[in-house]
Amino acid sequence: MSASPASPASPVSVTVLGLGLMGSALAEALLAAGHRVTVWNRTASKAAPLVAHGAVQAATVREAIEASPLTISCVLDYDTQHALLEPAAGALHGRTLVSLTNGTPAQAGATEAWAHALGASYLDGGIMAVPHQIATPEAFFFYSGAQDPFDAHRTTLAALGAPKYLGTDVGTASLYDLALLSGMDMMFAGFFHATAVATSHKGTTASGFTEHLVAWLTSMLGMMPLMAADIDSDGPPVYEQTLDLVVAAARNMGDVARGTGVRPDHFDRTVAELEARIAAGETAYSARAAVQHLRVPTRG
């Protein structure tokens, strides 16, 4: 990402509220794309590097919002965001608010209703990148909410990373964001567990072992589209194992954890769950059944 401003065909005015690691990266990307950027942050000193690259620092949230037709908010959480925006709410009338703060679909829905009641347009977004990836080809962003503000600001938002619009249901971006983060979180939990087990072996380093783990998981990633097709279909699964085989392997994974001084609780829970399914008469392990068994009744 370059800090020297490019000259977009149509430079626009954009406000960024929140200059943590992510908000600063977003503001820097907008400056690098040649836009006029106004910034505000609780800790005012964090604006200094951005001001050095051409940003205007606003003294208040209201002043920041009034500087641009588009305000991007990226702070710790929705409670923080609402507390910042509420005193300046009147300034949002006729403007667009894009929240890139991490939150839930319910929070997105409440913020959309609040913004619309003020006469503001609203888009909810999910950032699928870490700060150093912003404005690189690896970064992509989910957006959901009304189509008009997305169409109006798509080109500006594209300076941050590829924009993926998920439709008018405003909660979809945060649903997808949190689902992807859940997948990442469990993947890293698997990495940490596997590394703890393997490095119990004298002379095995995490770096050496991780070469094998990455090769294995990369090959297993190829299974996901096949499994997804099974989850979507009503027909016989393309990929299936016996529950007996899967529970036997899970028992071994729990035992090797116990034997190497690593917490076995994940596998103990898995074994108990699979044994209950076998006791209930199930014989097959498939991705479709695995997903079905994760579902819990929701209150209607």
Residues that bind ligand NAP (CB under 6 A): 18-23, 41-43, 46, 74-76, 80, 84, 101-102, 127, 130-131
DSSP label of 111: H
Min separation Cβ 300 and ligand NAP, Å: 30
Q: Which two structure tokens, joined as six digits, stand for 155?
A: 């080109």
The smaller minimum CB distance to ligand NAP, of residues 191 and 209, is found at 191
Q: Which is nearer to ligand NAP, 78 or 165 (CB)?
A: 78
Q: Which is nearer to ligand NAP, 179 or 248 (CB)?
A: 179
Nearer to ligand NAP (CB atom), residue 4 or residue 43: 43
Minimal distance in Å, beta carbon 158 to ligand NAP? 17
Q: Which residues contact 282 (CB under 8 A, 6 or more apart)?
A: 243, 289
- For the bound state, the minimum distance from the C-beta of residue 47 to ligand NAP, rounded and expressed in Å, comes to 10
Looking at the Cβ atoms of 140 and 209, the one nearer to ligand NAP is: 140
Query: Considering the complex, what minimum distance in angstroms separates the CB of residue 176 from ligand NAP?
Result: 13
CA–CA separation, 27 and 18 (whole Å): 9
User: Minimum CB separation from ligand NAP for residue 217, in Å?
Assistant: 21
Question: CB of 65 within 8 A of CB of 118?
Answer: no
Alpha helices in the chain (DSSP H): 21-32, 48-52, 61-66, 78-85, 105-117, 147-157, 172-198, 206-221, 223-232, 243-259, 265-279, 287-294
Closest contact distance (angstroms) between CB of 64 and ligand NAP is: 13
Are 30 and 86 spatial neighbours (Cβ–Cβ below 8 Å)? Answer: no
Q: Note whether 286 and 228 are within 8 A (CB).
A: no
Q: What are the C-alpha distances in Å from 157 to residues 89, 150, 261? A: 22, 9, 48
* Residue with smallest beta-carbon separation from ligand NAP: 20
Residue 20 or 54 with smaller CB distance to ligand NAP: 20
